Amino acid sequence: MNVGLFIHQTEASCAAGYSSGRFTDAERFGGSVAFDVDTGEWTRRNGASWRAPDGNGSHPALDHPVTQVSWNDAVAYAKWAGKRLPTEAELEIAARGGLVSNTYAWGNELRPNGKPAANWWQGTFPDRNTVEDGFRGVAPVGRFAPNGYGLFDVAGNVWEWCADWYAADAYEHATRDSPRGPSGGTERVMRGGSWMCSENFCSNYRVAGRSHATPDTGLNNLGFRLVKDR
């Protein structure tokens, strides 16, 4: 399978250059949902969008991955940029970095050398965050070591949209040479986990971890990564 050339998690500065004039889904809805680390709850935030991921008055750092971008928005941006979203299978192969059977992108130990190798929630979610990895929420792009293919942040930090429709049994019906998701559905695949995944909740910083959401969903722990065909 040719997985093309992968790009790092798209930063807020990249999204700021999106000058097509398209309003994102969150902007059209007048807001979106964000997780509050102080209350431990999801709440709707007026004005939340990629420009203000936590609602009115918030601002994304230019070295942070863009969030509050729906699948629809990510596809539109990819088309404008001359790239595309990766398939679920492409993203898993790329995330493994050559470690075919290992649990994580960096190996089989969650804390190699006693330290977190990605931005995930240490402690007990959502009540206690020890911030062992140095980040209470989203981390700047590239703060952790890359995987075997030189890709940063393939686990944790923010979920990443995939091109495929979601089905729980998708891999049972996929072909080995070119696994693709179903031809239709109601939700799209998300991969990689986020800064909210912990040992007691989600744990989808595992390479095989999967999630899904409707194509118009935007969250403050959800972004995307693009691929360009060679």
The domain ranges of the chain are 1-230
Q: What is the pLDDT of residues 85-114, one digit of tens each?
A: 999 999 999 999 999 999 999 999 999 999
Q: Return the pLDDT at 179.
A: 78
* Spatial distance between the Cα atoms of 211 and 230, rounded to a whole number of angstroms: 28
Which CATH topology does 1-230 take?
Answer: paralog of FGE (formylglycine-generating enzyme) (3.90.1580)
Q: How far is CA 144 from CA 45, 73, 108, 177, 191, in A?
A: 30, 27, 17, 31, 18
Q: What is the pLDDT of residue 170?
A: 85
Q: Which DSSP string corresponds to 76-101? A: HHHHHHT-BPPPHHHHHHHHHTT-TT
29-54 pLDDT, tens digit each: 999 999 999 999 999 999 999 999 99
Please state the φ and ψ torsions of residue 2, each to the nearest 5 degrees.
-90, 110
Instruction: For the full predicted model, state whether its pTM sits above 0.75.
Output: yes
